[in-house]
Amino acid sequence: MRIRATVAALPGALVLSALTLPAAAPADARPMDSDDTTITKVVVNGGKDLVFGTTTKKSFTATVTATDPDGITGGWVALWHGTTFDDAGRDGALLPAEEGSGSCVAADAQTSTCTVHFTVDVTTDLKDNAYAGTWHAYAIAYGRPSGSTNDGFAGSVKIKRNTTLTSDASPEPVTKGRTITVKGALTRADWETGKYAGLSGRSVKLQFRKADSDTYTTLKTVTSGTGGVLKATTTATTDGFYRFAYAGTTATSAKNSSGDFVNVQ
């Protein structure tokens, strides 16, 4: 990131200043709100979640599409975390590499889409687990000749903690009609310690795919125990693959384990 702006790192007023107006706004775009300039869409990371493990460094873009009867001269997007867009409610911000407007491409004489670039390093920019979840997009657009508009809730993106999920089915091979036991573990990235930790108390599905099929079906749902430990049993019927599937949350990524093949005799 160009700047990691959080309440802990910078005074709230400075953070708000950074989010209110880019340092190098277009010369002909004074910071005045205009009814003629309208933000129509903001997209972060192509509309996909951002998932970070314990060492992830990820680059992505955000775009702001805006319209003005006289055309758009620039646009900018930043991400912020919190409940309200003020010093008291905002506890973190991620700013793009661009200090002024992003690069803009005109769709027609009135509408343009401007792109900014982010690079986020989890070890420096997301060192608090509380940052997992919804991040809001603050966007500003500049209309010709001197109008502008901004929106603190112009869009959003989910930033999630990565999970790992394993599965091991036994015995292998197994006699038809006998019990198969599938064991595994569900863990989640801890951004504060830089390690993965077991995730307990979560619903995880045991799924099965026949050897000649591409589709998994759910056999049962189990709950992860202490340390994220998983254990499920089922009856052997035919050759196939067993896996665990975790649906994830708004702050934790979904994950499917690799399928473990069992030969039924």
CATH number of the CATH domain containing 247? 2.60.40.10
Q: Are residues 145 and 169 in the same domain?
A: no
Single out the residue in 140, 160, 180 at which a domain terminates.
160
Q: Decide if 83 contacts 29 (C-beta within 8 A).
A: no
Q: Decide if 169 contacts 181 (C-beta within 8 A).
A: yes
Could you say which residues of the chain have pLDDT below 70? 1-34
SS3 46: helix
Structure-block tokens of residue 160: 């999630």
Q: Decide if 61 contacts 157 (C-beta within 8 A).
A: no
Distance in angstroms (rounded) separating the CA atoms of residues 152 and 136: 7
pLDDT given for residue 34 in this prediction:
59
Single out the residue in 136, 160, 184 at which a domain terminates.
160
- Tell the residue number behind the tokens 């035919």, with chain if given: 238
> Which element (helix H / strand E) includes 18?
helix 12-20
Which domain range does residue 190 map to?
A: 163-262
Single out the residue in 102, 126, 160 at which a domain terminates.
160
Q: What is the CA radius of gyration of the chain?
A: 24
Q: Nearest-CA neighbor of 248 among 106, 132, 155, 104?
A: 132
Q: Are residues 137 and 181 in the same domain?
A: no
Number of domains present in the structure of the chain: 2
Count of residues for the chain? Answer: 265
Q: Are residues 167 and 79 in the same domain?
A: no
pLDDT given for residue 87 in this prediction:
85
Q: Are residues 208 and 196 in the same domain?
A: yes
CATH number of the CATH domain containing 115? 2.60.40
Distance in angstroms (rounded) separating the CA atoms of residues 64 and 42: 4
